[in-house]
A and B are shown apart, each in its own frame.
Chain A
Amino acid sequence: MSVLKRIWKFISSMRFAIILLVVLAVTCSIGSLVTQNQSYAWYASRYSERTAALIVALHLDDAFHSLYFILITAFLCLNLTLCNIIRLPGLIKRTGKASGLRERLGIWGAWVTHVGVLLLILGFSLGQMTHKEYAAYGVPGQTMAIGDTGLVMTIDDFRVDLRADDTVEQYTSEITVYDIARSSSGKSATVSVNNPADLFGMRFYQNSTGWAARVTIDKDGQPLQDSIVCAGDYLAVSDKQDLVIYFNAFYPDYVMISGYGPATASGKLNNPGYLYSVYYQGRILGMNVLMEGEVLTIDEYSVHFTEPQSYTLIQIKKDSYTPLAFAGGIIILLGLVLSLYVKPRKNNRLQNDLQTRGDDASS
């Protein structure tokens, strides 16, 4: 047998499939044990310089997108495809000879499962390569562009439904989306956790929430600027762009815990505290907590934080291959039912594996 034939036989063999599956399981396990997508400095601080270097060198910091992970998956797909192609004529022949629907269907179980796995991997891979994902956040009344989609979203309303014990029952955003290039009329939808909305070919998810506040800046006692800023965002002074006010965090019921730092005693707006920092030309000038009614003075500028309110973060996604991946999943289930439960039984209860051995031999 020539070398090429041997390689071909090995690549299409069940032995190769088993080796690939074991290697895939080991790779996934290692990938799950190492926190993914962190910086070298993060790994070095968590482990050691040597371990961090090893993690980065072996691409364990992004194991599920590494070349070796893609190669293992690609070889598994090749193996499954070849296995199914090679087995197809034998299965067709056996189906012709089979008596009864149960037997006819049952012998296709493993083949159908393999098709399902292939479709699932294909759908997931194509989705990973082609999906578009955006995030938009703001408070009711604000309008924002959604990336490069040509869509614009207005947040009409945002509600946080609380239970009697102050735990959150649901986050709900009312949104209107406009396709500015094609139509002047928008489409409205309600989006809540577990209930995304489909508009203009995109899916809108209620992702998360946070605090925002109105930041007003006066110059020499005259109003200069007025903006809603979300915690985690910054505001550059309009006539002095290298002076930046960064809104670090918000504490609705501010308390200072010794040895820990600023915190909130509850989720209620009992004692609003705004943690801010001021940067000038990229260098930090100061950082502190400003209470409601207090004024931050920087030379001729006076900064106020008021009107704390919840903002909503909407995740917008388009993945055209999700249905393909889910179809793969359904086909896997169908294949498993066929191969494990519909597979023809002979008189002896121990027979089912003899039948499968026949399948194996034919592959």
Chain B
Amino acid sequence: MLQVENTLFTIAMISYFASMIGYFIYIAAKKEIVFKIAFAIQAFGFVLHTAAIICRGIEAGRLPLTNQYEFATSFAWGLCLLGLVFMLRFRFHVMGAFISPVTFLMIGYAAMQSKEVRELMPALRSNWLGFHVSTAIIAYGAFGVSFVIGIIFLLRDRLKAQGFLDQHIPDKEKLDLIEYRSVALGILFLSFTIITGAIWAERAWGSYWSWDPKETWSLVTWIIYAVYLHLRIRRGYKGKSAAIFAVIGFVCVLFTYVGVNTFLPGVHSYK
């Protein structure tokens, strides 16, 4: 089963890479058919990626959400899912060229991690694990989308010189709305992540909040997006300032995930 997972994972990664190239060609060639091909390849990769995660879950006999590899591949899966959903929902095809590199980098990071299936330590044997990590995957995926939209927002004026992009990138007001929608989804799910994590920590370690580096950085991330939501409803700060916070927020997300596990070990250091 692990061999099957490995094969599916590899094909999914290649598909994500191919779709990324496809999106770049779409912008260069300005042909809608190229977008459709790139999108189809990405969707195909997503289906295989989903199958790979399911295979791992069957092999491990549990939710495959417990170590650095499993969360990285799930994070990439969440980015891909949310990217596809937002592209379709807002008919924002150019977004593919921006979200696919982030997705590919994350699945590439997953590929570099140990894929060994390990038994769970007692503290991880909890039903709360599924709620805690799966909500984090949706939250991080949504924040990945908001990061990409924030980047597009900040670059929009520079990209405007190219007629094709000018026509295919929504105006700033719509970009701001898409960014808001993704942050709204992300902060709601991040709140679920933090609260379910606190409930689980209380049962496992006897303390629902102990300023563990991962907890602290989740809070920092939550605060950054709370600032985003407040800035957005203040006159004069909507748009650029909010976009900057959407970008900073995702940097915090990445640090919470990769940086904390690497540099600030705590109870979440399940490598």
Residues in chain A within 8 A of chain B (CB atoms): 14-15, 17-18, 21-22, 24-25, 28-29, 31-33, 36, 64, 124, 133, 163, 165, 167-171, 192-196, 203, 205, 207, 315, 317, 322, 325-326, 329-330, 332-333, 336-337, 340-341, 349-350, 352-353, 356-357, 359-360
When the two chains form the complex, which single residue of A21, A193, A329 contacts B230, counting CB atoms closer than 8 Å?
A21
Q: Once A and B bind, how many residue pairs between them come within 8 Å at the CB atom?
A: 125
Within 8 A of A (CB), among B207-230: 207-209, 211, 213, 216-217, 219-220, 223-224, 226-227, 230
Known: A18-B231, A330-B195, A360-B234. A336 touches B220 (CB 8 A): no
Chain A residue with minimal CB distance to B129? A194
Shortest beta-carbon distance from B131 to chain A in Å:
12
Flag whether B122 is at the interface (Cβ < 8 A): yes
For residue B49, CB closer than 8 A to chain A, the reply is no
Contact check: which of B119, B207, B211, B223 meets A163 at CB < 8 Å? B119
Q: Which of B181-198 contact A (CB under 8 A)?
A: 184, 187-188, 191-192, 194-195, 198
Q: How far is the CA of A33 from the CA of B259 in the complex (A)?
A: 11
B160 within 8 A of A: no
- Encoded as 1 (CB less than 8 Å from any A CB) or 0, chain B from 121 to 140 comes to 11101100000000000000
On whether the beta carbons of B220 and A168 are closer than 8 Å, the reply is no
Q: Among A31, A194, A336, A360, which residue has the most Cβ atoms of chain B within 10 A?
A: A194
Residues of A with C-beta under 8 A to B234: 14-15, 18, 360
Q: A340–B119 contact, CB under 8 A? A: no
In the assembled complex, B166 has its CB within 8 A of some CB on chain A: no
Interchain CA distance A189-B200 in the complex, whole Å: 20
Q: Is the interface of A mostly helix, strand, loop or mixed?
A: helix
Q: How far is the CA of A195 from the CA of B206 in the complex (A)?
A: 10
Is there an interface contact between A203 and B206, defined as CB atoms closer than 8 Å?
yes
Contacts of B227 in A (CB 8 A): 18, 21-22, 25
Please state if A329 and B198 are interface contacts (CB–CB under 8 Å): yes
What separation, in Å, do the CA atoms of A352 and B207 have in the docked complex? 39
Q: Give the interface SS of chain B, mostly helix, strand, loop or mixed.
A: helix
Among listed B75-83, B151-159, B172-180, interface-contacting one:
B172-180
- 6 smallest beta-carbon distances between A and B, as pairs: A193-B122, A340-B184, A32-B216, A205-B206, A329-B195, A356-B233
**Residues in A whose Cβ lies below 8 Å from that of B31:** none
Q: Write the B227-247 contact mask toward A (1 if CB under 8 angstroms, else 0).
A: 100111111001000000000
> A17-B230, A25-B223, A196-B206 are known contacts. Are A170 and B122 too (CB-CB below 8 A)?
yes
In contact, B191 and A168 (Cβ under 8 angstroms) = no
B127: min CB distance to chain A, Å: 9
A333 touches B119 (CB 8 A): no
Write the nearest CB–CB distance from A354 to chain B, whole angstroms: 10
Number of interface residues of B (CB under 8 A): 48
- In the complex, how many angstroms separate the beta carbon of B13 from the nearest chain A beta carbon? 30
What residues of A have a CB within 8 angstroms of the CB of B226 in the complex? 21
Q: Which among B191, B209, B260 is the interface contact of A333 at CB below 8 angstroms?
A: B191
- Cβ B206 vs Cβ A28 within 8 A: no
Contacts of B173 in A (CB 8 A): 350
Q: Is the CB of A168 within 8 A of B121?
A: yes
Q: How far is the CB of B248 from chain A (nearest CB, A)?
A: 10
Please state if A31 and B216 are interface contacts (CB–CB under 8 Å). yes
Decide if B235 touches A357 in the complex (CB within 8 Å): yes
B199 contacts chain A at the CB level, 8 A cutoff: yes
Give bound CA distance, A167 to B125, whole Å.
Answer: 13
CA distance A352 to B176 in the complex (A): 12
Answer whether A360 and B233 are a contact pair too, CB < 8 Å, given A163-B119, A326-B198.
yes
Contacts of A205 in B (CB 8 A): 203, 205-206
Starting from the known contacts A21-B223, A25-B224, A325-B208, 10 additional A-B residue pairs (CB-CB under 8 Å) come to A22-B223, A28-B223, A29-B220, A32-B213, A165-B119, A168-B122, A192-B122, A205-B205, A329-B194, A336-B191
The CA of A340 and the CA of B208, in the complex, are separated in Å by 26
Give the chain A neighbours of B28 by CB distance below 8 A: none
CB-defined interface of B20-35 with A at 8 Å, one 1/0 digit per residue?
0000000000000000
Give A25 Cβ to nearest chain B Cβ, in Å. 4
In the complex the two chains form, what is the Cα distance from A33 to B204 in whole Å? 25
Q: How far is the CA of A341 from the CA of B183 in the complex (A)?
A: 12
A224 to B53, CA, bound (A): 62
Q: In the complex, what residues of B have CB within 8 A of residue A329's CB?
A: 191, 194-195, 198
Whether B233 pairs with A194 at a CB distance below 8 angstroms is no
- Closest A residue to B126 by beta carbon equals A194
Q: Does B59 contact A (CB under 8 A)?
A: no
Q: How far is the CA of A119 from the CA of B177 in the complex (A)?
A: 31
Chain B proximity of A65: nearest CB distance (Å)? 9
Q: A167-B119, A194-B125, A205-B206 are in contact. Are A32 and B232 (CB under 8 A)?
A: no
Closest to A161 in B: B122
Question: Residues of B contacting A337 with CB < 8 Å?
Answer: 188
Partner of B202, one of A193, A322, A352: A322
Residue in chain B with minimal CB distance to A167 = B119
- Given A205-B206, A350-B177, A333 contacting B192 (CB threshold 8 A): yes
Q: Return 8 A-B CB contacts under 8 Å, by A number.
A: A14-B234, A21-B223, A22-B223, A32-B213, A193-B204, A205-B205, A353-B232, A357-B233
A341 to B118, CA, bound (A): 39
B4 within 8 A of A: no
Residues of A within 8 Å of B216, CB to CB, are 28-29, 31-32
Q: Is B264 engaged at the interface, CB distance under 8 Å to the other chain?
A: yes
Question: Are A322 and B208 CB-contacts (below 8 A) given A333-B195, A341-B184?
Answer: yes
CA distance A356 to B238 in the complex (A): 12
Report A-chain residues with C-beta under 8 Å of the C-beta of B122: 168-171, 192-194
What are the residues of chain A within 8 A of B264 when measuring CB–CB? 32-33
Q: What A residues does B211 contact at CB under 8 A?
A: 31-32, 36, 64
